[in-house]
Amino acid sequence: MLHAVLLEFEGVLAETRDVRRRALTAALAEEGIVLTDAEYTEWCVAVPVRAAARAALHLRGMEGDETHADLVTLKAERHFAAYVETGLSLVDGAVTLVESMHGQTRLGIVSRASRRDIEPTLALAGIDHSFEFIIADDDAFLPKPASVSYLGALERFARRRAVVPANVVALEDGPPGIRAAKGAGIRCAVVGTVPAHVAMDADALLPTLVGQTAASIDQLTSGRRAAER
């Protein structure tokens, strides 16, 4: 039985992967650092901006310089904000899925994105009312892969009515989110095109949100757990 679904905003609801890549590579280029697409995919996808900046600097032998990492992070955030001034596009099937789940199961957002990026995008799409709460990068939680943001989400659900973690599904887009959800005892489906070794860490792979429902997500993520028992 599905009690709730928690969604990452970046890469699951919103098309941010390419914009994030462009923003970080532009920031690094201003520092004379070139990051290849392959390196970005391997080290920087689906992680917070500062962690991605630190990973890129590490690849160039510049690890440990926190001031430099802060500078690259600030520049990357500025580039990202400039790129998305006119708004972010939602992933195909995202609005339909959220609308279909609203009223059938409880919904929340647990994201590495900032609230200033999340709230206007959801409002423009007309789905902001579907979520009980938003946990964003602005909130006082350690970033994924730490599980505290998901544990915080469970606590927020419990303010109205408790949920069983094993009956909650997280929709994530990469390894840090998968580890965070699993660490909190939550089922996890990874969304989009990801390497096989990443998909294997989740309970299910959803190549697309198109055609998905609360029931299909529940069924897909229940199968692996049942097999492991």
For 4-15+89-228, CATH number out of 3.30.70.960, 3.30.565.10, 3.40.50.1000, 3.50.50.60 equals 3.40.50.1000
Task: Give the per-residue pLDDT at 199.
Answer: 85
DSSP conformation class of 160: T
Q: Which of 43-47, 59-63, 90-94 reaches the highest mean pLDDT?
A: 90-94
Residue pLDDT, tens place only, 99-124: 999 999 999 999 999 998 999 999 99
The residue ranking higher by pLDDT, 173 or 194, is 173
The whole-number pLDDT of residue 216 equals 96
pLDDT band at 229 (very low <50, low <70, confident <90, very high): very low
| Cα 179 from chain centroid (whole Å) | 12
Domain residue limits, the chain:
4-15+89-228, 17-83
> Which positions ≥6 away from 30 have C-beta within 8 Å?
75
Q: Is the peptide bond before 145 cis (omega within 30 degrees of 0)?
A: yes
Supply φ then ψ for residue 160, to 5 degrees. -100, -50
What's the pLDDT score for residue 225? 53
User: What pLDDT shows up at residue 228?
Assistant: 53
Indicate the SS3 state at residue 165.
helix
Architecture of domain 17-83 in this structure? Orthogonal Bundle (1.10)
Residue 179 has pLDDT above 90, yes or no: yes
Which residues of the chain form beta strands (DSSP E)?
4-7, 106-110, 134-135, 168-172, 187-191, 204-206
Q: Which pTM was predicted? A: 0.88
Residues 172 and 206: their CA atoms lie apart, in Å, by 10
- Helices assigned H by DSSP within 34-105: 37-43, 49-59, 66-83, 94-101
Q: Is pLDDT larger for residue 220 or for residue 48?
A: 220
- Give the model's confidence band at 226: pLDDT under 50 very low, under 70 low, under 90 confident, else very high: very low
